[in-house]
Amino acid sequence: MNPTRLALHGVAEYLLAGPQFRASGTIRLRASDGGFATVAEPELRVDGRQLVAGGEGYELAGRTLAELAAAAGLDGGAPDSYASAVTIGPDDPLEIDAIHAARLAEALATGDAALRQFASAEEPVLWPEHFDIAIRVDEINYGVSTGDQFIDEPYAYVGADPVAGDEFWNAPFGAARPLADLAGAGAVAAFFTEGRSRR
């Protein structure tokens, strides 16, 4: 598993979603320039390898989640609304490579743009549990994952029961395509459209 993705997943949960849940009652995050951000108070965002809180920037690499929470005055920790899947601990130094962080930010931005093209009435949500950006339309999930045990790189997915005999459905949860195989947001939106048409 990519250590940058593991670290940023921990940041999303411990430093953004958790404090936001305790202050505003929601775990939803959003894609933002250079990374991701809260949708409610407190106003927090990750831009590249920095946490931005209260107008101050805090370098993430080499620091721990607990140190960063204390430095930024945050009520750090995972939200209490689900069982955390984050494998990095609050006292583990964060390993964040600038190039990998930029690629993950680009994947989230691509996912956000593709979802808005595909279903303009829906608001894409970056879910901290899975560290993916997604929407749900007519009982089908559409989204972009930053990577996981199934595909260890960013990928687009359509979450629905696979159709037997249809090679489009290539994953146990539906269909998945690495973003590297899709030429930008338009191609990702087309993949979502194809998934919907094959149901």
pLDDT per residue over 23-36, tens digit each?
999 999 999 999 99
Q: What is the helix (H) or strand (E) element at residue 77, kind and residue range? A: none
Which residue type, as a one-letter code, is found at position 2? N
Domain boundaries, the chain: 3-97, 99-197
Reported confidence tier of residue 85, pLDDT bands at 50, 70, 90? confident
For residues 34 and 191, what is the distance between their CA atoms, to the nearest angstrom? 25
pLDDT per residue over 119-172, tens digit each?
999 999 999 999 999 999 999 999 999 999 899 999 999 999 988 899 999 999
The contacts of residue 123 (CB under 8 Å, 6+ apart) are 135
User: Crossing angle of helices 98-118/3-11, nearest 10°?
Assistant: 60
Q: What is the helix (H) or strand (E) element at residue 149, kind and residue range? A: none
- Looking at residue 145, its pLDDT comes to 97
Indicate if the alpha-carbon torsion angle 62, 83, 195, 143 is positive or negative.
negative
For residues 150 and 113, what is the distance between their CA atoms, to the nearest angstrom? 23
Q: pTM of the entire structure?
A: 0.94
Which residue type, as a one-letter code, is found at position 117? Q
- Looking at residue 96, its pLDDT comes to 97
